[in-house]
Structure 1
Amino acid sequence: MTTVDKLKALEEIWNDLQRTPDDVPAPSWHADVLHAREDRVREGSSQFENWPVAKRRIREQTQ
């Protein structure tokens, strides 16, 4: 299988998974991480960012 074929297969799988996101189980540690982040926001030591802002900040940090 060529690299292009592999990428096409990955894209097809990803598109299929996106159609039924509730069927994709989250790992058990995921809820713990989310709760810890919510606690930090509630305590005022952290804040949520919307995705466009976060994405821009990540890009700026990695350039």
Structure 2
Amino acid sequence: MTKEEKLLTMRNLWEDMRSEISTAYETPEMIDLLDQRSARIESGEAQLLDWDKVKGSIGRQ
């Protein structure tokens, strides 16, 4: 996908989901999981990976 196609896709997804986001809610379990993951990243125990690099490594070992 080109950058323009990606941006258009993101815009379309946002427009499609915008009305649902205000009615959606996060459960306490979801919030706890996100907090745990955030703490692991901040402590250096985990790291964020670039999606394009991850995609390229799938299936290779």
TM-score where L is the length of structure 2: 0.50
More helix by share: 1
Say which one has the larger Rg. Answer: 1
TM-score where L is the length of structure 1: 0.48
